[in-house]
Structure 1
């Protein structure tokens, strides 16, 4: 992995609660709060400045712009929600560019797992515990915050263990 284990360990305790909140919020309301996206980017801006070399920090900030532009195009085409696009952009600088293939594999596995788990939970006793969640009754719409947040947590956890 290209991410250093040290940077992943620094990011993980700050990122994990935000990602869990995003997943919960997206399942509950089918929205990712802007405050959570801003907080995630703020974590990178502060912790990244402390832990990353300045040249790498600058390049990673460009990831935000590139992913946001791609997300805007996908959102305009109706392929992703606006919150998903914003969250992806805020999460982008946490990922080392050399780990993109690994990240895509982690995302694919997490997306499939999250979708199956959400669909099973929809028809289980779990639904009685949280009957007012919007994600239960949205047909084929899926709370992508569950998969996106999970992907970032898994990537950083793998980075903490296997990073350079």
Structure 2
């Protein structure tokens, strides 16, 4: 059972999906998640959250972001996770109540595996490579994690809104 109110998830879904897909595209094309994308995601929560969430839950979102930011700094310093990926995950965490952590981690694991294999498969298709010759992610040794983060965030909100 997802504890994010379904009405809130429904209102968050469209703007978050738009920003998330921009993040995924940027990560695929440039292997970067620009700060403006991360800040836009956070701004959606800051502006819409007080109208959509119980006030206590809204405030907890900021605590989640602070904790996730510390985790992201550690992951960047010691695990090779991109800084943009960590900042995007911190902004994402604002939307996710602690009670939904297991659900989101399960979704992330599934999307990480699926996105990794899909990216590796698609980059091996010559037609796709010719259509997107300037995409850095095709040649980069690292994986564009924004792809998995986007899938996780949008699917989580969709599940919360419609199930």
Calculate the TM-score normalised by the size of structure 1.
0.96
1:127 is matched with 129
Equivalent residue runs for 1:12-23 within 5 Å = 12-23=13-24
Equivalent residue runs for 1:44-59 within 5 Å = 44-59=45-60
Distance 2:155 2:99 in 1: 16
1:99 is matched with 100
Distance 2:7 2:98 in 1: 17
Which consecutive unaligned segments of at least 5 residues does structure 2 have? none
* Structure 1 range deviating more: 35-44 or 119-128: 119-128
1:108 is matched with 109
Give per-residue Cα distances to partners, 1:82-141, cap 9 Å, x unaligned. 0011000011011121111111110011111101110111011212110110001112x0
SS in 2 for 1:77: helix
Calculate the TM-score normalised by the size of structure 2.
0.96
Distance 2:160 2:80 in 1: 29
- What is the CA-CA distance between 1:49 and the residue it aligns to? 1.2
2:62 is matched with 61
Runs of 4+ in 1 over 6 A off after TM superposition: none
How many residue pairs match? The answer is: 161
SS in 1 for 2:154: helix
- What is the CA-CA distance between 1:79 and the residue it aligns to? 2.7
